[in-house]
Amino acid sequence: MNKLKRITGIILAISISITVFTSAAFAADSKSTDGEYLQSVIDLIKQKYNGKITDDEILQGALKGMFGTLDQYSAYYTPDEFEEFYGTLEGAVEGVGISIEQIDKNLIINKVFANSPAKKAGVLSGDRIAQVNGEAVQGKELKEVVSKIKGTAGTKVKLGLVRQGTKNMITLEMSRAQVDLPSVHYEIRGKIGYILIDSFSHNTSKGVSEALSTFDSKKITSVVLDLRNNPGGYLEQAISVAQNFVPKGIITTLDYKDSSMEDKKFYSELEKIKYKVAVLVNENTASAAEILTGAIKDTKAGVIIGCKTYGKAKVQESLPILSDDAYKKYNGGKENKSANAYDFNSFTTDLSGWAKMTIGLYYTPNGNCIDLKGIEPDIQVKESILSGIRVNLMETLSLTVKPSLGTHYYDVLNAECALKLLKYDIGTPDYILDAKSVEAVKKFQKSNKLSSSGILDFATQRLLNTKINEIKQKQDAVYFRAVSEISK
């Protein structure tokens, strides 16, 4: 991946620009004394600090400190950190295609992505990672273990896995690859097409188009867009998704800080609205998700349901920052110096890191700037929290193993949440199938004419999944109201 292509329109975080900053010379507002002062501080550290630190470590610390003090969104990334951040937005990462959660110092695989190396190698949701390339990982930090598993496509990694019902550790070898991380999840619920968008990554528009194509084939014209807890992402993806729902006209306007950049208006060319749309939002619906929400609300292309959104109208561009040596090399003899690698035909090896910078604000079609204000829904509905469980966040069981008494497993939490909402006594839902939960499972099985073994066998899991889907459709108050509105 060529990281020096211009990465614009990230509606996710905020930074401001600093024209030049290196360990040797910091020039801001054309004051040469700034560079001299900062260099003297660096010299003082090198003279007095009784410890080991390199010039590069000092520079990285200075850059992180500068951006970190600006506001809660500002950030500076080293190349490795940016690779992780950008890979998530890209909708693809290089690795084996698993999601890991740390539970009581155990590293549990809670998701195996489709068509991934892990899936093909036989890795299952619920497996506990015991070793990576022969090295024990029990008690290690999640981030450290993830870094050992991720790697360049084509290289190999061995995972030592402990699996429910298997005495001996299983060792599986797989080749790393580029793995797609879906940001769109959809299903048909009776006469309703339901689309959940996690974030606006590079594959979001493609996922929504696939969903709508499926709905069209079934003649589904009522659509629920669930943007709850969507933190944003790429501007162009939000625009592309909006063009499926917003009638011909303005979707959003970008007002840039840099006078050399011309303000932009983004349009929809949709001649006729095709779908009856309800958009679900909450306090964590932000940025690019608010662009889509604001466009649909202002143009009356759908009804907005939930609670007021986060309120973030800042647009970012990710800028590559030259290393100290590269800064000197490319700026030698120039009057107007720059640390921005985009100003030169530079290479990734010349970079110190990346900075996310706010380059402007966006406005809704009616000219509203929702920054720090949020978007008020057309219909206010509180999210359903029943017995401490957020109904809309419930997940179905994976049908990969059959948990029994004493099992520590991700699916146990999902089963216990469902059982609790079905009025069975399981205490506080957790990841452990204890004696109390086993008794609840037995009662559930007996009530539904299943073998009352207390084991979460696949027949029990399938029935629980049916119950979970029913709960999410009937007891998620925001979704229920949306269906009511678009079914009129």
For the ranges 205-214, 317-326, 447-456, the lowest mean pLDDT is seen at 317-326
Task: Check whether 385 has a pLDDT greater than 80.
Answer: yes
State residue 115's pLDDT score.
85
- For 33-70, the pLDDT digits (tens) are 467 888 888 889 989 999 999 888 888 898 888 887 77
pLDDT band at 348 (very low <50, low <70, confident <90, very high): low
Give domain status of residue 274, yes or no: no
pLDDT band at 285 (very low <50, low <70, confident <90, very high): very high
Q: Which of 198, 201, 170, 171 is nearest to 184 (CA)?
A: 198
- Residue, of 83 and 72, whose pLDDT is higher: 83
Q: Which two tokens stand for residue 306?
A: 């939930």
Q: Domains in the chain: how many in total?
A: 3
Give domain status of residue 353, yes or no: yes
pTM: 0.84
Give domain status of residue 214, yes or no: no
CB 220 within 8 A of CB 191: yes
**Residue 448 is part of which domain span?**
385-486
**127 and 141 share a domain?**
yes
Give domain status of residue 275, yes or no: no
- Residue, of 356 and 370, whose pLDDT is higher: 370
**144 and 166 share a domain?**
yes
State residue 164's pLDDT score.
80
- Residue, of 349 and 436, whose pLDDT is higher: 436
Give domain status of residue 469, yes or no: yes
**120 and 38 share a domain?**
no
State residue 20's pLDDT score.
27
State residue 87's pLDDT score.
65
State residue 15's pLDDT score.
23
- For 213-235, the pLDDT digits (tens) are 999 999 999 999 999 999 998 89
Q: Which of 323, 368, 358, 362 is nearest to 341 (CA)?
A: 323
Among 180, 213, 235, give the residue marking a domain's end.
Answer: 180
Task: Check whether 30 has a pLDDT greater than 60.
Answer: no
Give domain status of residue 122, yes or no: yes
Q: How far apart are the first and last CA of the chain?
A: 48
**83 and 22 share a domain?**
yes
Residue 426 to residues 109, 233, 419: CA-CA distances in angstroms?
24, 39, 7
**68 and 115 share a domain?**
no
**390 and 481 share a domain?**
yes
**29 and 115 share a domain?**
no
**143 and 158 share a domain?**
yes
**% of the chain beyond a pLDDT of 70:** 91
**79 and 101 share a domain?**
no
**% of the chain beyond a pLDDT of 90:** 60
Q: Position 57: which residue type?
A: E
CATH code assigned at 144: 2.30.42.10
**84 and 163 share a domain?**
no
Give domain status of residue 246, yes or no: no
Among 160, 180, 200, give the residue marking a domain's end.
Answer: 180
Average pLDDT over all residues of the chain: 88
pLDDT band at 332 (very low <50, low <70, confident <90, very high): confident
Give domain status of residue 225, yes or no: no
b/e per residue 410-428 (b: at least 16 CB within 10 A): bbbbbbbbbbbbbebebee
Residue 277: Cβ within 10 Å count: 24
**28 and 117 share a domain?**
no
CATH code assigned at 406: 1.10.101.10
Among 161, 180, 199, give the residue marking a domain's end.
Answer: 180
State residue 70's pLDDT score.
72
**31 and 80 share a domain?**
yes
